[in-house]
Amino acid sequence: DTAVSQTPKYLVTQMGNDKSIKCEQNLGHDTMYWYKQDSKKFLKIMFSYNNKELIINETVPNRFSPKSPDKAHLNLHINSLELGDSAVYFCASSPKIVGVQYFGPGTRLTVT
Amino acid sequence: AQSVTQPDIHITVSEGASLELRCNYSYGATPYLFWYVQSPGQGLQLLLKYFSGDTLVQGIKGFEAEFKRSQSSFNLRKPSVHWSDAAEYFCAVGARLNRDDKIIFGKGTRLHILP
């Protein structure tokens, strides 16, 4: 039983397209996150939600829009994809803000 | 705001040798401290954490870390590494003061194991 799952695992698309990544956690956690990991493995937070409320919105282009339909789900929609968006995107959940984070397996996005 | 530094980008050790990965943080009070491991193509997995109490923390897979307030460090150690320990290791620091506090990750240390 996967604790934090993401779909798809791989996503290859062309510049200008719109795509979504879905995340679900079955741990009953209140807080969920999106992280971006670049080619140098640097991990940077993008967004965090607590009880479906947006808490953190880092300096991310507004082409990225997270949506949390309920506490167990946090989706990421990306409009007008650019080459620089190519990265691995990780979803994570935590029982509290600034707690132990449980990561999903990641979604490798490649923009051509 | 807090920050975290992992001075070593790559570390190479022989199988069976001891290991120490360095982590230094900057924060005005006692932060929450974490070590995560990322195997190739995988997500991050928690090795251990420090919130308070005993400054020597035991984790999974035989790892331990020691919180040293005077040195602002939280170094990860293992007495004898195995080939399966080859991975990327991330130190992270967090502080719970405000609603929008977050965990900051270091840039990672890639561990290579020589047979």
CATH number for the domain that contains residue A20: 2.60.40.10
Instruction: Give the residue-averaged pLDDT of A71-100.
Output: 93
> Which of A55, A92, A98 is facing B96, going by the closest CB pair?
A98
Cis amide leading into A8 (omega within 30): yes
> Which of A56, A102, A103 is facing B102, going by the closest CB pair?
A56
- The predicted pLDDT at position B97 comes to 67
> Are B72 and B2 spatial neighbours (Cβ–Cβ below 8 Å)?
no
Cβ neighbours of B96 in A, within 8 Å: 97-98
What would you report as the CA-atom Rg of chain B, rounded to the nearest whole angstrom?
14
Task: Determine, for residues B100 and A40 on separate chains, whether the beta-carbon distance falls below 8 Å.
Answer: no
- The predicted pLDDT at position A53 comes to 87
**Structural domain range at position B14:** 3-114
Which residue in chain B is spatially nearest to A56 when comparing CA positions?
B100
Total of domains in chain A: 1
Judge whether residue B99 has pLDDT over 70.
no
Distance CA B73, CA A12 (A): 40
Distance CA B25, CA B74 (A): 8
Cβ neighbours of B49 in A, within 8 Å: 100
- If one compares B52 and A98, the residue with the highest pLDDT of the two is B52
Size of interface A-B (CB pairs under 8 A): 54
Total of domains in chain B: 1
Distance CA B42, CA A47 (A): 21
- Measured between alpha carbons, how far is residue B72 from residues A34, A83, B24, B41, B56 in Å? 28, 38, 6, 31, 14
DSSP H or E run through B108 = none
Q: In chain B, which among 3-42 make CB contacts under 8 A with chain A? A: 32, 34, 36, 38, 42
Task: Determine, for residues A4 and B32 on separate chains, whether the beta-carbon distance falls below 8 Å.
Answer: no
- CATH, residue B39: 2.60.40.10
- Measured between alpha carbons, how far is residue B104 from residues A28, A35, A99 in Å? 23, 11, 12
Cβ neighbours of B59 in A, within 8 Å: none
**Structural domain range at position A34:** 4-111
Query: What digits encode the pLDDT tens for the residues B13-22?
Result: 999 999 999 9
Task: Determine, for residues A100 and B88 on separate chains, whether the beta-carbon distance falls below 8 Å.
Answer: no
Cβ neighbours of B101 in A, within 8 Å: 97-98
Instruction: Give the residue-averaged pLDDT of A72-83.
Output: 96
